[in-house]
Amino acid sequence: MSKPQARRWADELSGDENVVVGPLRGYHHETYVFPLPGRGRYKCREPRPGLFWFDRRCFASEEQLLRDLSGRISGIPDVIEVDGLKLQRFVEGQTLGDLLSDGLAVPRAVLAQILALFEQLARVTTETLSVDRCCTTLDRPEDGDSDGFMEWFVRFTEEHVYRGNLPAFEGLFADLGVGDEGFKYLRKHVSGLRERPFCLLHADLHRENLIVDDELRLWTIDWELATFGDPLYDLATHLHLMRYPVRQARAVAHRWAETVEQVRPGSSVGWEHDLPLLLGYKRAQSLFTDVIRTALSLDAGPEESPRQLVRAALKLRPVLADAALPLGLDSVPGPRRIVTALVRWRREHGVPPA
């Protein structure tokens, strides 16, 4: 079997295939790490083939974005160009997720650096950053149009994540009680947001994208989903993905509001009312992505045991419960019904039942 292109690049640039590490864990890319003489270790990567994109992309090149943010956002990977390839420096350290699993409180020193990141992001606006965009000017909400910004995301979730995958997953969604009507409820749920001035958003700030080095400095990686938009959306995404303890989540939200308001007045206006609405969208979005990913993980092989199916059902049950309100679900299926739905989906797609 031939090597992936990214691996061949890494072998060539390193000069020794034995020093290449990878592929690394990651969803969007096949990534390999290798040393460059006198420069440290760098990443060489390529998009994974046949990838499901669950999130909207804004920028054409993550490497171009990182280059333009150099000196404006601290703790991001350097980017260099070697033989026409743009390479990101590999950040040495441990992910915050490896150090502290979901549900555990984040130390004050790390939290202070996360809030400093939000402060720096709030300073970066569309007028101050010139990076190639994926979308056209006609497909971008006006600065401050928080309702339009959320419609942008709801439409992507409906058209690309839900409807785009209906040929394979319509039966599974139906068995779980999820259908087209859910998006009417979702739009109503997130309507009426206050206007806030747009800024740069990372849009994927979770424990695996935050690296702590040996000097306890925080680095932020994986800017693939960065975009311009409502700053409160970045906070909602962060809180949804970070799984802070409840008390610390409240404290983070209050400190975030104080931080961004000092940078750009109006950035936190109405946040206490709007944050639960945006969290509702994130929970609805997670339902679609988690159902698809869970089903595909079960489809990986024919030897899934009943215990694995039960674990999958126990994982999806709280996801469905969290999304019930924003999607207007009449009821939330129990684990037995979810297992039945997954088994039926596997059977319909040619995978023997466990």
Residue 218 makes CB contacts below 8 A (sequence gap 6+) with 75, 96, 110, 113, 114, 117, 210, 211, 212
215-227 pLDDT, tens digit per residue, is 999 999 999 999 9
* pLDDT > 70? residue 353: no
254-265 pLDDT, tens digit per residue, is 999 999 999 999
User: What amino acid is encoded at 297 in this protein?
Assistant: S
Structure tokens at 184: 């009417």
Return mean pLDDT, the chain: 91
162 within 8 A of 290, measured Cβ to Cβ = no
* pLDDT > 80? residue 137: no
Mean per-residue pLDDT for 31-39?
A: 88
pLDDT value of position 354: 45
144-179 pLDDT, tens digit per residue, is 999 999 999 999 999 999 999 999 999 999 999 999
* pLDDT > 90? residue 39: no
